Amino acid sequence: MNEGAPFNVIGKPLPRKEDRRFLTGRGRYLDDIDLPGTVHVCFVRSPYAHARILSIDISEAEQMPGVVAVVTGEQVNQWTAPLRMAPPIDGLQPMEMATLPVDKVRFQGDPVACVVATDRYLAEDAAELVMVDYEPLDVVADMFEAMKESAPKVDDALTSNLVSHQTFAHGDTAARMRQAHCVVEAEFRSHRQTHLPMETRGILADWDEGRGHLTLHVGNQAPHPYRSVMAGRMRMKESEVTVIVPDVGGGFGQKIAVYREELTVAALARHLKRPARWREDRLENLSAASHARENVARTRAAVDANGCLLALELELYEDFGAYSFYPANYLARVIAMILTGPYRVQDYAFDVKIALTNKCGNGPMRAPMAITSWVMEGTMDAIARDLGLDPVDVRRRNILSGNDLPYTMATGETLEDINPAEVMEKGLAAFDYEAFRRRQIEDRKNGVYRGVGICNVVESTTYGSKFYKAAGIPGSGHECAWVKVEPSGAVRASAGVMATGQGYETAFSQAVGEGLGIDPANVAIELGNTDVAPYGMGSRGARGGTAGGGTLYLAAQAVQGKALEIAANLMGLNSAERLRLADGVVQQFANDAWSDTELTLADIARVAYLDPTRLPDGMDPGLETLKAYDPPAMTYSNLVHICEVEVDVHTGEIVIPRYLIVENCGTMLNPTIVKGQQLGATIMGLSGTLFEHVVYDENGQNLTGTLADYLVMSADKAPEIEILDLSTPNKRTPAGLKGMAEGGVMGAIGAVTGAVNDALAPLDVVFDRHPLTPDAIRGKLRDRI
Amino acid sequence: MKPGRFTYHAPESLDAAFGLLGEYGDDAKILAGGQSLIPMMNLRMARPDHIVDIAAIPELTGISENGEQVTIGSMTCHADIVAAEVLVQRCPILPTAAKFIGHHAIRNRGTIGGSVSHADPAAEWPLIAILLDAGMVVRSSRGERRVQAADFIQSIYTVDLEPDEILTSLVFPVLAADEGWAFQQISRRAGDFAIVTVAVTLALASGGTIERLRLCLGGMDVTPFRLKDVERDATGKAPDATWMDEVAHLAATAGSPESDMHASAEYRREMAAHLTKQALNTAIQRCRGGDG
Amino acid sequence: MEKVAITLNINGQDFDMLVEPRKLLSDAIREDARLTGTHVGCEHGVCGACTVQVDGRSQRSCLTFAVQAVGKSITTIEAIADEDGGYTALQQALHEEHGLQCGFCTPGIIMTFEAYLRENRDPTNEEIRDVLSGNLCRCTGYQGIVRAVKVAAERMRGGKSEGGQS
């Protein structure tokens, strides 16, 4: 650390503690946990996208050697409670979903029966023997078709497939449109994608008949909320259910909800009185886990002749699929709320419609609001195009700088401690935008189509309880942590968030080490076990750093406070004011300098636990703290992505010779881990824009069930990325943390699309939908080149 | 995704393999490298009752050369073809094409014979075999027969192989020292199934005109195919831009490509033209002593 | 269907097991030899998580039946270490360059490159990316892995490494 840096261990690029077990094959993922007598589960899934279930004949499957049980919704729905998704949100239709469907299936892959056998091979054999008689129904696989009156209903209990519809207006957009120099319209279509964690979903349910207790080993990002839902649907108390999350091979939002398969396996373990496990295979994961995105956005921007934004209207649609495992408005609403992000505009209105279709249900995927920045920046590019202005000039005229803050957006959210203008300028300078434009002109003379895309992002990171309340979403944004110093001086800490690969054990040990004044190497972080961890809201969005790390930091500071009070008492001082812990040793401030005393944290801990008569009067023995923390309504990070592409107009292939990021993500617990998140998020965004696509045909058949069909960006296609930092701390959070890890997805989508459009501008084409495949590029260029 | 049940046989001689294939007929499937068969079995799209693993039959593996031809045992893996010095010297298009197959781990196990017998329309070996008029050596208890590649590969996933027969080796002509060649492919990512592939061999006469040409397209029909008319007409022509444009146009209009998720038929046609030009240029450059 | 008794040599040790012929090598390694560092990610040969070495060459263990591996020498991630049981150059570089996050794809990547770096001692970034394209990673964006392989190769050649952050 530099001299004068505010922290000793926060901000150090320490290598990760987690790595040793992963590098040596000693990680412990769900499949690696073995309980004697475990049975294996395989689901029978619907081949139809929409069909009535007339009958299910399990007799032949039941008789197969090795088969323990075959069950359908008839039994499972008696053992479990249905999911009622009915938060009190205006315009949202409540939905109720049985654990397994008994009347009809709603998408190809819907589970209708479940085979339990002594191994997975046998379970798959038996699943083939389950005979289901279906009566196919009309299928609706397109959201705009679904919203028509005549469309077949996906959920018969709803009044229509329009499961959610919300509007908002601030100011008078219509008046501004009338007054404007012109109104620029643009459209953006993102396509269906899926999370694709390298480890698929799964669960190992262990029923303890003697204690009447259910232990669930499951890869999940939010163990306590998961336990609450699971207990409710199992008709048990939370005290009767333990959730233990082992190492998780990626989540990206797919591992939050209680899925129907997991609930079925838990119910089966209790029914059969033996451990039961299910590990999803890749075919299931791609077709029946959870999908994401598939939005259509239309903007209308009122601008003056200089491209200054006067008003903005957003029309947004999302294809939510067949079921609602999350409130249907959850993802699209955030897009609408933060759309204007880095730009000044007060007259803003949105209209958000969510439709059900006969496809796998949607859920939050890393950056649920992923499309946001592309929509906003694409609108900026459209303004520049229509007015014949440089896209950077248009941004400069509208972007918020530090001087504009705090800035209350039209939606009522207040932005502070961000610096969009400064970040963009630093990016443009590092990229040398002017030189690029000269190079671009030269190259075009030689038939080389080079372009640059700029995407400014304001990333909503940590959602506090006040945000939930204001947005009408039930739930809390607080987090909880404990820090314990054991009698020997060993330090343990836990929080309710759960890692799925991010490196929490390392980053959090730095937060605790900083707060307590010890070497982070001596902090053991214990996450994921609901019997050990305090009740917290889990990992979602980008809350790990601020909610998780921030709460641990505060808890550790509290423990340090108590330790120093004990130290003062032991040293015969009246106050602990001039004491601190550094690297586990009590230091005293005297003669303008800190110097070590002979007292260590271990000495203090021994007294706290084993010699309590030496504690200050009235102090409880022990040395531990439980601390809850509710972050501000919202914290924001901001960043710019600048992407250079070269488009081969003959093949439609896109090469990314340069990719630059400037980011302000506040105080970093560990910059190495932050960089890992920036890189991973960016490639995920590029992958989604250029490669990934869940494809359904008009009959609702999923055509992308394997990894040879659902393409993700591989190393040969991924660009090298440069990252610059322009971080400023958040003044309202512990240690100035903000959180990050989703903005990269948002930035990449907008930057690469903008770059392609810039490159091909001489050919007078605009790409407004994804994925940008070579074939799609050629499709538009075909008449021109 | 677990395969269905089967009985496993691992004969150590061709005769033993013939016996098993004769006994089980259509119920048996030959397992070569398994890099196409096993995924299909895991997905339960293929479910043979008997698997005859021919890996233990020694004479099916290896590469030999006799001056005019190279013979490659059907169980030779792609990686060994990439690394074979004799092929790099005498028929360099073979190791080059092999590098386009899948990834390292796949090339270490997948075999040339397995690939040709599987006859995936996007695969590299059927295309190269057809390009070079390779001879397919097929044996059974009834004896040995030799089929030209274009006859062997009949349609998508369909080859001229009876249930009791084994493809034992492939015989390729070596390229002449002054013969140029090129292998051009477009796929979404490294190692993915090809969208379109174009392979060319070309020799120039002393005057600079074309002496002989082979040109084969993949991804444009149910099997790879040669542009025989183009090849015939090329002899004596100057390999100039006009000619190349003409050939590229013929390539684009040849065959009957289908649209799928990864590429439309129109795109395949465009790429056939584009890659044909690239391939011809590369081959000509190699003829003239460049390294392409 | 009858199970067959086989012996697999994994990491220099013989494991006797009774398996159906259809049992995939990946499952036999994990369930019968209880070596769970080999991960199953797709079971159709695309993701590369299950990559092991068979007679020193990288192969997909999900695209091989266990019965096919009899008589071969199988190496899994659990055997990858230097002579003193510490990290190999590749493991060390992956650690330093943050070349892993959730760790699920990591064993497959290590098994691929421990073999590859014996073949090619001085790979270019482009070659590394080409080889790495056979292993999907959803967390890292690949950059740290590419750099780690480069650094490891340099160290293995005995040259000096640039190391550090890129």
Across chain B, which has 292 residues, the per-10-residue mean pLDDT values are: 97 98 97 97 97 97 96 98 97 98 97 98 97 98 97 97 97 96 97 97 95 98 98 97 97 97 96 98 92 58
Q: B96 and chain C: CB distance < 8 Å anywhere?
A: no
Q: Report the side by side order of strands in the sheet with A449-463.
A: A449-463, A634-647, A654-664, A722-725
Quickly count: other Cβ atoms within 10 Å of residue A181's Cβ: 14
Chain C residues whose C-beta is within 8 A of a chain B C-beta are 1, 4, 20-22, 24, 27, 43-45, 48, 51, 54, 57-60, 62-65, 67-68, 112, 115-116, 130-131, 133-135
Give chain A's mean pLDDT: 97
Q: What's the rounded Cα separation, in Å, for the pair B157 and B177?
A: 35
Which residue on chain A is closest to C107 by alpha carbon?
A: A25
Count of alpha carbons within 13 Å of A544, Cβ hemisphere only? 28
Indicate the residue of A282, A501, A715 with minimum beta-carbon distance to C139.
A501
Q: Which residues of B touch A703 (CB under 8 A)?
A: 261
- Contact between A682 and C141 using a beta-carbon 8 Å cutoff: yes
Q: Is the peptide bond before C107 cis (omega within 30 degrees of 0)?
A: no
Q: What's the rounded Cα separation, in Å, for the pair B187 and A678?
A: 28
Which residue on chain A is closest to B185 by alpha carbon?
A: A651
Quickly count: other Cβ atoms within 10 Å of residue A489's Cβ: 17
Count of alpha carbons within 13 Å of A40, Cβ hemisphere only? 19
Q: How far is CA A741 from the centre of its chain?
A: 8
Residue A471: its pLDDT value, please? 73
Which residue on chain C is closest to A721 by alpha carbon?
A: C143
Collapsed DSSP state (helix, strand, coil) of residue A314: strand
Read off the tokens for A497: 């968030």
Residue of A257, A282, A280, A259 lying closest to A196 (CA atoms): A282
Q: How far is CA C68 from the centre of its chain?
A: 19
Question: Nearest CA of chain B to the CA of C86: how many Å?
Answer: 26
Residue of B64, B85, B68 lying closest to B76 (CA atoms): B64
Q: What's the rounded Cα separation, in Å, for the pair A641 and B254?
A: 44
| Residue A271 φ/ψ, nearest 5 degrees | -70, -45
Residue of A186, A256, A262 lying closest to A220 (CA atoms): A256
Q: Report the side by side order of strands in the sheet with B7-9.
A: B7-9, B50-53, B28-31
Contacts of A615 (CB under 8 A, 6+ apart): A566, A569, A607, A608, A621
Q: Name the neighbours of C, counting chains with at least 3 Cβ pairs within 8 A.
A: A, B
Q: Which amino acid is at A53?
A: I
Buried b (16+ CB within 10 A) or exposed e, B134-143: bbbbbbbeee
> Which of C65, C75, C128 to mutate: most B Cβ within 10 Å?
C65
Q: What's the rounded Cα separation, in Å, for the pair A578 and A617?
A: 20
Please say whether the beta carbons of A118 and A42 come within 8 A: no
H/E element, C139: none
Percent of chain B with pLDDT over 70: 99
- Contact between B2 and C4 using a beta-carbon 8 Å cutoff: no
Q: What is the DSSP letter of B52?
A: E
Which residue on chain A is closest to B193 by alpha carbon?
A: A708
Residue the block writes with tokens 């359904």: A696
Collapsed DSSP state (helix, strand, coil) of residue A137: coil
Which segments of chain A have a pLDDT < 50?
1-4
- Contact between A23 and C100 using a beta-carbon 8 Å cutoff: yes
Residue A4: its pLDDT value, please? 45
Residue A5: its pLDDT value, please? 59
Q: Which residues of C touch B38 (CB under 8 A)?
A: 24, 45, 62-65
Strands (E) across chain C are located at 4-10, 13-19, 51-54, 57-60, 73-75
Q: Which residues of C touch B3 (CB under 8 A)?
A: 22, 24
DSSP string covering B225-291: EE-HHHHHHHTT----HHHHHHHHHHHHHSS-----SS--HHHHHHHHHHHHHHHHHHHHHHHTT--
Question: Nearest CA of chain C to the CA of A128: how many Å?
Answer: 17
Q: Which residues of A touch B188 (CB under 8 A)?
A: 691, 711, 773-774
Per DSSP, helices labelled H in A599-648 are 601-610
Q: B79 and chain C: CB distance < 8 Å anywhere?
A: yes
- Contact between C22 and B4 using a beta-carbon 8 Å cutoff: yes
Residue the block writes with tokens 């200054």: A308
How many separate helices (H) and strands (E) can be counted in chain C?
A: 5, 5
Question: Nearest CA of chain A to the CA of C32: how many Å?
Answer: 12
Please say whether the beta carbons of A592 and A548 come within 8 A: no
Question: Distance between terminal CA atoms of chain A?
Answer: 55
Collapsed DSSP state (helix, strand, coil) of residue A63: helix
- Contact between A703 and B261 using a beta-carbon 8 Å cutoff: yes
Q: Which residues of B touch C22 (CB under 8 A)?
A: 2-6, 41
Residue the block writes with tokens 């084993």: A610
Count of alpha carbons within 13 Å of A765, Cβ hemisphere only? 21
Q: What's the rounded Cα separation, in Å, for the pair A643 and A622?
A: 54
> Which of C32, C91, C105, C143 to mutate: most A Cβ within 10 Å?
C143
Which segments of chain C have a pLDDT < 50?
163-166
Q: B44 and chain C: CB distance < 8 Å anywhere?
A: no
Which residue on chain B is closest to C52 by alpha carbon?
A: B105
Question: Nearest CA of chain B to the CA of A120: how many Å?
Answer: 8
C-proximal residues of B, 172-191, CB under 8 Å: 189-191
Indicate the residue of C87, C106, C132 with minimum beta-carbon distance to A715.
C132
| Residue A507 φ/ψ, nearest 5 degrees | -65, -40
Q: How many CB pairs under 8 A join B and C?
A: 92
Residue C165: its pLDDT value, please? 41
Q: Which residues of A touch B197 (CB under 8 A)?
A: none
Q: Report the side by side order of strands in the sheet with A523-525.
A: A523-525, A491-495, A479-485, A624-629
Question: Distance between terminal CA atoms of chain B?
Answer: 44
Q: What is the DSSP letter of A82?
A: P
Chain B residues whose C-beta is within 8 A of a chain A C-beta are 1-5, 43-44, 186, 188-193, 261-264, 266-267, 270-271, 274
Please say whether the beta carbons of A353 and A146 come within 8 A: no
| Residue A744 φ/ψ, nearest 5 degrees | -60, -40
Max Cα–Cα distance, chain B, nearest Å: 63
Q: Is the peptide bond before A719 cis (omega within 30 degrees of 0)?
A: no
- Contact between A778 and B43 using a beta-carbon 8 Å cutoff: no
Question: Nearest CA of chain A to the CA of B135: how many Å?
Answer: 31
Q: Name the neighbours of A, counting chains with at least 3 Cβ pairs within 8 A.
A: B, C
> What CA dihedral angle connects A541, A544, A547 and A548, to 10 degrees?
150
Report pTM: 0.97
